[in-house]
Amino acid sequence: MRVGLIVDSACDLPFEFSRRNNLFILPVTARIDGQTYVDDHDPVKTAEFYDSGLLQKGHHAETEAYSAGQIHDLFLNEIVTQYDVAFCETVTRSRSRIFQNATEAMNSVMAHYHDAREAAGREGKFSMRVIDSKQIFAGQGLLAAHTLRLIDQKLSKNALRQQVEDFTDQIFTAVIPRDLHYIRERARRRGDKSVSAVVAFLGKALNITPVLFGKGAEGKPVAKTRNFDAAVEKVMNYAVGRIEAGLLTPYVSLSCGLSWEEIEALPGLDQLRETCARHNVELLLSQMGITSSIYIGPGSLCLSLAAEEHDFSDHQ
């Protein structure tokens, strides 16, 4: 039984990790300042996007998920013909239409896959499941890495589905938004009033950098720091402490809306690497993709791990 894993372009993972594990990416289209980018995690495109400076205008960007019809064609041509079972993990349905579109596409594919499969010379039935990851960015990456680990265990498709869905409720994410004004303006254009003008003003005037923390995409402020480096140190300390206390999967996912030079200079990164190495944990370090960097803004950081119930303050 050949099992395939599909994620969308809001899922942040190192490119080589995705390539090595044959992850299939559902693209998102981004339009900024008259230019169009199809975010399929191509590292060259991502580097060009960062170098262009367009991210500074990202709060004006229009992002568009592939339609159900486009996803149907991708599933039929690229997935049905290669795999016997497929799982599609999408960004949380509360932030995007991708889950809805992928589910509609899956239902259509399941009714019409037989001819495409026969033409490709693949025998037997095909089955598929679309799963709401309940995550964003690094959290999606962590779920994908854990799913690949489960696939390697040769579980039945029902056991695999159940374990993946259960795992979505065990992922904790810390986010550092670099520019609260960007977040507020981006949210306002999308009709999300969760970031008030007062908070954005205070962040700019007082140089406050918050740390948001919680399960999945439902983060709340847990710290306010005077600058970005101080916020990064808090998140790194949290990750180190949580690794030492124990994780539920041997991965930590860290994505950054920064250049690679800036990423390598992050305070506490070396200590995080050393702690991961001591505990046989793989650090999935990546530059944020186009989709996630537009959503959360330039210079931001997102870290995810899976663990038993705990508070951010437990590891400070």
Per-residue model confidence as pLDDT tens digits over 34-84? 777 788 888 888 887 778 776 666 556 677 888 999 999 999 999 999 999
Identify the bridge partners of residue 137 per DSSP, sorted by sequence position.
11
Residues 240, 157, single domain; the answer is no
Number of domains within the chain: 2
Top pLDDT among 216 and 117 is at: 117
Last residue of a domain, one of 115, 144, 169: 169
Q: Is the pLDDT of residue 171 over 70?
A: yes
Residues 84, 155, single domain; the answer is yes
pLDDT of residue 316: 84
Mean pLDDT, the chain, whole residue set: 89
pLDDT of residue 43: 85
The gap between the terminal CA atoms of the chain, to the nearest Å, is 45
Q: What would the pLDDT profile of 107-146 be if each residue is shown by its tens digit? A: 999 999 999 999 999 999 999 999 999 999 999 999 999 9
Q: Which of 41, 124, 25, 131 is nearest to 83 (CA)?
A: 124
Number of continuous H segments (helices) and E segments (strands) in the chain: 13, 13
Q: In whole angstroms, what is the distance from residue 99 CA to residue 82 CA?
A: 22
Backbone angles phi, psi at 67, to 5 degrees: -70, 165
Residues 113, 258, single domain; the answer is no
Radius of gyration of the chain from Cα atoms? Answer: 19
Q: Check which CATH number belongs to the domain holding 187 and give it.
A: 3.30.1180.10
Residues 145, 30, single domain; the answer is yes
Residues 192, 131, single domain; the answer is no
Sign of the dihedral through C-alpha 88, 94, 97, 100? positive
Residues 212, 309, single domain; the answer is yes
Residue 48 in contact with residue 311, Cβ under 8 Å? no
> Across residues 240-250, what is the average pLDDT?
98
Identify the bridge partners of residue 28 per DSSP, sorted by sequence position.
39, 65
Last residue of a domain, one of 169, 197, 229: 169
**What is each CA distance from 229 to 208, 224, 240, 265, 297, in whole angstroms?**
11, 12, 16, 10, 17
Q: In whole angstroms, what is the distance from residue 134 CA to residue 219 CA?
A: 12
Q: Which range of residues forms the domain containing residue 147?
A: 3-169
pLDDT of residue 48: 79
Sign of the dihedral through C-alpha 91, 168, 315, 15? negative
Q: In whole angstroms, what is the distance from residue 254 CA to residue 196 CA?
A: 27
Residues 117, 178, single domain; the answer is no
pLDDT of residue 173: 97
| % of residues, the chain, pLDDT over 90 | 66
Residues 159, 190, single domain; the answer is no
Last residue of a domain, one of 119, 139, 169: 169
> Across residues 149-176, what is the average pLDDT?
95
Residues 175, 162, single domain; the answer is no
Residues 112, 258, single domain; the answer is no
Q: Maximum distance among all alpha carbons in the chain?
A: 64
Q: Is the pLDDT of residue 192 over 80?
A: no
Q: Check which CATH number belongs to the domain holding 91 and give it.
A: 3.40.50.10170
Residues 21, 163, single domain; the answer is yes
Top pLDDT among 196 and 84 is at: 84
pLDDT of residue 187: 67
Q: Is the pLDDT of residue 286 over 60?
A: yes
Lowest mean pLDDT across 43-52, 150-159, 231-240, 287-296: 43-52
Q: What would the pLDDT profile of 253-273 be if each residue is shown by its tens digit? A: 999 999 899 999 999 999 999
Residues 17, 61, single domain; the answer is yes
Q: Is the pLDDT of residue 198 over 60?
A: no
pTM above 0.95, yes or no: no
pLDDT band of 307, cuts 50, 70, 90:
very high
